[in-house]
Amino acid sequence: GAGVSQSPRYKVAKRGQDVALRCDPISGHVSLFWYQQALGQGPEFLTYFQNEAQLDKSGLPSDRFFAERPEGSVSTLKIQRTQQEDSAVYLCASSYAGWSGEAFFGQGTRLTVV
């Protein structure tokens, strides 16, 4: 596609529900990152994929957070048993291998847990 696409753009979940956030990167981009952006703050790293391999998940805040990219393209970030502190914008970014170019960001998913 022309850019990184994320869906849904907005998600309201009741506390305790499971949610799944989707990221469709730019075609051919090997690297894919997920970031969490709390209200009024800068984004914080969650996890990194190179193709289908999850090479870094050090930023995932708890074992309720799980990410996958099974075919090296679309990625899904899943949050189980959502809590109010999970409310944030979740940003996805993709780039070519080698990081010689820029990372392209999607418009994010705003998750509100009520």
Partner 1 sequence: AQTVTQSQPEMSVQEAETVTLSCTYDTSESDYYLFWYKQPPSRQMILVIRQEAYKQQNATENRFSVNFQKAAKSFSLKISDSQLGDAAMYFCAYRSGGNAGNMLTFGGGTRLMVKP
Contact residues toward partner 1 (CB under 8 A) are 30-31, 33, 35, 40-45, 48, 50, 55-56, 59, 89, 91, 93, 95, 97-99, 102-103, 105-108, 110
Residue closer to partner 1 by CB (options 4, 19) is 4
How many CA atoms lie less than 13 Å away from 2 in the CB half-sphere? 0
CA–CA distance, 23 with 47 (Å, rounded to integer): 13
- What is the smallest separation between the CB atom of 48 and partner 1, expressed in angstroms? 5
DSSP bridge pairs for 68 = 76
Pick between residue 80 and residue 104 the one whose CB is nearest to partner 1. Answer: 104
Please name every residue paired with 79 in a beta bridge, in sequence order, or none if there are none.
19, 65
